[in-house]
């Protein structure tokens, strides 16, 4: 379409334009609500001055490894007016987003599911690649009995933020895959836009009921918009397996009392996946993932590099079928190498989601100009990190 223009939304003048597209596709949100989230922007598509597409973008910090935040923009409520779909509008908006976000974000990301769906295929076509896979777990708790737990609401969770932070940091000290936690996180998360779009009742279960917190669970129930019959675990953290079991028993007993089941998602590295399976959770196929694409490769490498000294004497390029870039030039660079792999391999590498030595041994990652110790140097600079994705982060 020759007259198609894609660019960043002008804040706040074009919020109504963006919402005219978004609200025709998704549960509506008002302008007044949107104004409460100034970190949101959008990539817009206009045809002869008429908005026909919108990709809202939540700009946020994101941990790829402990104490290793990068700047990201998470896409959500992505849509094109029905009469202009399958005509390249969505891809053009992604192209525009890469350009206008390049100076302030290292990656575009999205929470996604359903690998065989048209929506997932759109993200692949526009350059996104899978960084983590989650699978569903469901539980009919039956007559499970609660132990020494307390059941409260979202306000109690927020009031306990200091305790939650301590337990979360102990549980996920070695993990990435989520926005950084601080004491204000739960206030922000439990008042986020998703709760205006899809109202939900929040449950907060803590173990023990009194005294030093050892485990907690934040769950939600949908009762009006998109109602369900489950308690969805949004975040679960504990200082031990036994503490996690106790809080899960409390969640199960509360769900059973309300005539509901329990559901959640977990990654392969989740600390609670096996605990839940032992308790009777049924594991489903993988469904949910975080997808991402780098848009500022050199800045991304600098932020995620765990050992700059290991690559001090190297200039490092990356090459994939879909992109190539120079990502690093050490202050004492005397040699140049190129890391080669499929788009997903290089994307995972730059987000600390690839075991370098294994990938090289399996011929998934190749190194042009390799010296004998280069794979060890790259492995030291970009060590694999476990990720967990918590539903409470959803935007």
pLDDT tens for 85-135 read 989 999 999 999 999 999 999 999 999 999 999 999 999 999 999 999 999
Q: Tell me if the bond preceding 12 is cis, omega within 30° of 0.
A: yes
pLDDT band, very low/low/confident/very high, at 224 (cuts 50, 70, 90): confident
Per residue in 310-322, pLDDT (tens digit) is 999 999 999 999 9
* Residue 198 CA: distances (Å) to CA of 5, 127, 222, 371: 31, 29, 8, 54
Mean predicted confidence (pLDDT) in 301-306: 98
> Does 361 score more than 90 pLDDT?
yes
List CB contacts of 48: < 8 A, sequence separation 6 or more.
Answer: 3
Q: Which residues pair with 216 in a beta bridge?
A: 206, 237
CATH architecture of 4-127: 3-Layer(aba) Sandwich (3.40)
Tokens of 47: 């045809």
Pairing verdict, β 175-176 and 386-387 = parallel
Mean residue pLDDT across the chain: 96
Backbone dihedral angles phi then psi of residue 15, each to the nearest 5 degrees: -60, -40
Radius of gyration of the chain (CA): 22
- CATH 1.10.357 for the 296-381 domain, yes or no: no
Q: Provide the 8-state DSSP code for 376.
A: H
225: confidence class by pLDDT, cuts 50, 70, 90: confident
Q: Where in the chain is the domain with CATH 3.40.630.30?
A: 4-127, 136-290
Asked which of 150-164, 186-200, 201-215 is least confident by mean pLDDT, the reply is 186-200
User: Residue 25: pLDDT band by 50, 70, 90 thresholds?
Assistant: very high
Q: Would you say residue 395 has pLDDT above 80?
A: no
Segment 163-179 shows an average pLDDT of 98
pTM above 0.75?
yes
Contact yes or no for 248/276 (Cβ under 8 A): yes
For residue 156, what pLDDT is reported? 98
**Structural tokens at position 6:** 């894609």
Question: Which residues in the chain are classed under CATH 3.30.1050?
Answer: 296-381
In sequence order, the β-bridge partners of residue 290 are 111, 132
Number of H helices, E strands in the chain: 14, 19
115-121: list long-range contacts, CB under 8 Å, 24+ apart.
115/286, 115/289, 119/78
Mean pLDDT of 23-50: 95
Q: What is the distance between the alpha carbons of residues 70 and 105, in angstroms, rounded to a whole number?
A: 8
d(CA 179, CA 72): 10
Q: Kindly report whether the peptide bond that precedes residue 249 is cis, defined as omega within 30 degrees of 0.
A: no
Element (H, E) at 327: strand 323-329
Predicted confidence at residue 176, as pLDDT, reads 98
Q: Is the model's pLDDT at 284 over the cut of 80?
A: yes
pLDDT of residue 1: 73
From the candidate CATH numbers 3.40.50.970, 2.30.42.10, 3.40.630.30, 3.30.70.1140, the one assigned to the domain spanning 136-290: 3.40.630.30
Backbone angles phi, psi at 84, to 5 degrees: -125, 15
pLDDT score of 2: 79
Contacts of 234 (CB under 8 A, 6+ apart): 218, 219, 220, 390, 391, 392
Neighbours of 290 (CB within 10 A): 25
Better-scored residue on pLDDT, 2 or 133: 133
């Amino acid at each position: 379409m020759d007259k198609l223009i894609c660019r960043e939304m002008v804040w706040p003048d074009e919020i109504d334009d963006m919402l005219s597209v978004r609200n025709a596709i998704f549960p509506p949100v008002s302008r007044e609500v949107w104004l409460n989230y100034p970190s949101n922007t959008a990539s817009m598509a206009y045809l002869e001055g008429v908005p026909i597409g919108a990709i809202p973008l939540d700009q946020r910090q994101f941990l790829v490894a402990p104490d290793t935040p990068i700047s990201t923009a998470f896409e959500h409520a992505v849509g094109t007016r029905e009469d202009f779909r399958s005509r390249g509008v969505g891809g053009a908006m992604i192209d525009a987003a890469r350009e206008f976000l390049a100076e302030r974000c290292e990656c575009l990301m999205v929470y996604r599911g359903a690998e065989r769906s048209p929506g997932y295929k759109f993200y692949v076509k526009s350059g996104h690649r899978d960084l983590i896979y989650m699978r569903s777990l469901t539980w009919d708790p039956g007559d499970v009995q609660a132990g020494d737990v307390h059941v409260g609401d979202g306000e109690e969770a927020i009031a306990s933020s200091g305790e939650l932070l301590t337990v979360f940091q102990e549980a996920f000290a070695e993990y990435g895959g989520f926005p950084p936690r601080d004491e204000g996180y739960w206030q922000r998360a439990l008042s986020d836009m998703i709760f205006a779009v899809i109202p939900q009742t929040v449950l907060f279960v803590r173990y023990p009921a009194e005294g030093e917190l050892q485990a907690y669970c934040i769950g939600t129930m949908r009762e009006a918009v998109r109602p369900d019959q489950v308690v969805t675990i949004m975040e679960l953290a504990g200082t031990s397996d036994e503490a996690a079991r106790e809080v899960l028993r409390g969640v199960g007993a509360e769900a059973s009392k309300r005539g509901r089941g329990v559901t959640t998602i977990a990654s392969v590295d989740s600390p609670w996946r096996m605990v839940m399976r032992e308790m009777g959770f049924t594991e489903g196929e993988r469904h949910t993932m975080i997808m991402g694409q780098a848009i500022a490769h050199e800045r991304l490498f600098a932020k995620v590099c765990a050992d700059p000294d290991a690559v001090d004497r190297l200039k490092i390029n990356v090459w994939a079928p879909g992109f190539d870039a120079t990502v690093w030039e050490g202050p004492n660079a005397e040699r140049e190498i190129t890391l080669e792999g499929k788009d997903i391999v290089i994307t995972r590498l730059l987000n600390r989601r690839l075991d370098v030595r294994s990938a090289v041994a399996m011929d998934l990652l190749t190194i042009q100009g390799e010296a004998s110790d280069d794979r060890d140097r790259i492995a030291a600079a970009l060590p694999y990190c476990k990720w967990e994705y918590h539903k409470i982060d959803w935007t």
